[in-house]
Chains A and B, each alone.
Chain A
Amino acid sequence: MIRFEEVTKEYPDGTRAVKNLNLEIRKGEFVCLIGPSGCGKTTTLKMVNRLVEPTRGTIYVDGQDIMKVDPVHLRRRIGYVIQQIGLFPHMTIEENIALVPRLLGWDRERCRRRVEELLPLVGLDPDQYRHRYPRELSGGQQQRVGVLRALAAEPDLILMDEPFGALDPITREALQDELKKLQAKLHKTILFVTHDMDEALKLADRIVLMKDGEVVQDGSPEDLLRHPANDFVAAFIGRERMAQAVGATPVEELMIRRPVTAGPSKGLAEAVQLMRQKRVDSVVVVDEDNRLLGVVTARQIQQHRDRARTLGEIMSGEPACVEVGAPVTEALQRMFVERLDHLPVVDRERRLVGLITRTTLVDLLSREGWPNGSPGGSGQGVSA
């Protein structure tokens, strides 16, 4: 959808706002450009609709070199939302929204219908609002209209330059939620400039972090949080957020992937043999479909070995377990509260996929505050 090839922007005073930028944004992606002020993110954005023209390099939109397209035509097919909102105060809400369609020569009726279609998308009643003027609306409502104005002519690509930066925190959050919902419905390609990491993490499919005109890291929000490229990225994201992200790690990332299992009819002696071989202190009991039946520990075997012969006889009836996707912190909390040594991880059909043990906590601790550290899972309950 957008491709930057070796793009450099130099201002007459010699400052290089953007340096040899290579970046590709695919159709339907929501990409946040983020970085401290002066990092070149806004310049990058404005080069896409030629409000700023690159000094060197080529930018393609839809495969077309934008320097070979009439900027006026280019801009009419790219939605644009700015921080200052920029609704025209002398035009009604309807006139503001229908501006680009009008420039494109849509007839009156089509414009009217489009406005009627758009206003409800952001929860504004057309009959009530279409003939109002921008100043009769609150800031949040104005920027909602600003977003609609960018959508009016049905562009595939929308540029947003810190669109919610001037709003109060509560309104900002509401608009972020609405934008997210809107995007889920419309699947536009969105290039979104912000300096607010929370906003980027919340909205973006992909975050491009810039500094001094260069891309420092380009990846999914997950990537940035878990594997920051360097100290600058880590500092920009902030330790607190990274720690939170580690806590939100899903269980499957830290669980033991192939726990030692056995069928319920397995004899106790055999089971002990198995545990000894694998150097573990427990075995997960599953049926032939790998469905979870229970967990038996070495201690349980020791207590019951006189009376029972198979694992099925001594395993606890309704074993505790977590489903795939649950955060690790939740699993650990349960283990702590319910005094569990082991917590099997199952899929939706209760099939065993892994096991969380106390060692998992050690893994988690080793991740926190270690930008590059991501030790893999270790042996099953060896230290338990």
Chain B
Amino acid sequence: MNEWERVLRVLTDPAVHRAVWVQTGQHIYLSVVPVLAAALVAVPLGVFLTRARRLAEPVMNLVGVLQTLPSLALLAFMIPLLGIGRLPAMTALFLYALLPILRNTYAGLRAVDPALIEAGRGMGMTSWQLLFLVELPLAFRVIMSGIRVATVLIIGWATLAAYVGAGGLGDLILTGFATVSAGHIIAGGVPVTLLAILADWALGRLERAVTPRGIRV
């Protein structure tokens, strides 16, 4: 039995199909929850940092350090703290998703034309009105693209979650490694890639759909 036949056998195995479906579901869950959580933290934090600019640099650096930790090391580091399973995996992914969203939120808000802020203030907007009626709508595209980058990134990294027993498409890939089975690697890897591409496209569409016509490029 040559290599091609072995790959084909794995890819046509109903058990593998079932595993792909189940693990894709797990994978989406493993990616979406940390990204959403990261957005919920990073967007308000980014807003806060534009109001407390002296803190911006140190906070950004701290979050940047998290980003540079090797992902495997971070995962391993989570085990003594949070044990094994989904929690440590999603925590690590959450930490990774923070930076792109935070950085884009901050940059997006800073890029709002100061003249518009002055116009808004001069017309009698409160700082909340300024934030919700002017700054956030105008920074929205940049913030969204931060979320988009984070999502694609996290979908890729979520494969590593399998190392700490969190499931996801990483399971199939690990099995492929362990048994030297290209079929399993393909069965796990291709859906991950497709998920990432799909997420990128869908978020891109969403971004366009909710951007007001006046500032579309």
B126 at the A/B interface (Cβ < 8 Å)? yes
A80: chain B residues within 8 A (beta carbon) = 119, 122-123
With known contacts A82-B118, A84-B115, A90–B123 Cβ distance under 8 A: no
Closest B residue to A51 using CB positions? B122
A91 at the A/B interface (Cβ < 8 Å)? yes
A134: chain B residues within 8 A (beta carbon) = 214
B116 at the A/B interface (Cβ < 8 Å)? yes
B19 at the A/B interface (Cβ < 8 Å)? no
Q: Mark A148-190, 1 if CB is under 8 A from B, else 0.
A: 0100000000010000000000000000000000000000000
With known contacts A88-B134, A103-B129, A133–B122 Cβ distance under 8 A: no
| Contact present for A133 and B119 (CB under 8 Å) | no
Closest A residue to B119 using CB positions? A86
Which residues in window 172-217 of B have CB below 8 A to A? 212-215
Cα A82 to Cα B116 with chains together (Å): 10
A89: chain B residues within 8 A (beta carbon) = 116, 138, 214-215
A51: chain B residues within 8 A (beta carbon) = 118, 121-122
A217 at the A/B interface (Cβ < 8 Å)? no
Cα A268 to Cα B82 with chains together (Å): 125
Closest A residue to B121 using CB positions? A51
B76 at the A/B interface (Cβ < 8 Å)? no
A49 at the A/B interface (Cβ < 8 Å)? yes
| Contact present for B124 and A86 (CB under 8 Å) | no
B57 at the A/B interface (Cβ < 8 Å)? no
Tell me which of A71-79, A230-238, A330-338, A370-378 binds B: A71-79
With known contacts A88-B116, A88-B134, A90-B137, A82–B122 Cβ distance under 8 A: yes
Closest B residue to A84 using CB positions? B115
Q: Which of B124, B133, B213 is close to A73, meaning CB atoms less than 8 Å apart?
A: B124
| Contact present for B214 and A133 (CB under 8 Å) | yes
B125 at the A/B interface (Cβ < 8 Å)? yes
Cα A80 to Cα B120 with chains together (Å): 10
Cα A87 to Cα B214 with chains together (Å): 11
Closest A residue to B140 using CB positions? A90
Cα A73 to Cα B123 with chains together (Å): 9
Cα A92 to Cα B116 with chains together (Å): 15
| Contact present for A90 and B215 (CB under 8 Å) | yes
Closest B residue to A135 using CB positions? B214
Q: Which of B118, B124, B125, B214 is close to A91, meaning CB atoms less than 8 Å apart?
A: B214
| Contact present for B123 and A103 (CB under 8 Å) | yes
B123: chain A residues within 8 A (beta carbon) = 75-76, 80, 99-100, 103, 149
Cα A85 to Cα B115 with chains together (Å): 8
10 pairs, CB–CB < 8 Å, chain A vs chain B: A51-B121, A76-B124, A82-B119, A84-B119, A90-B215, A92-B214, A100-B123, A103-B124, A103-B125, A133-B215
Which 7 residue pairs of A and B lie closest in terms of their CB atoms, listed nearest first?
A: A86-B119, A133-B214, A76-B124, A84-B115, A75-B124, A80-B122, A90-B212
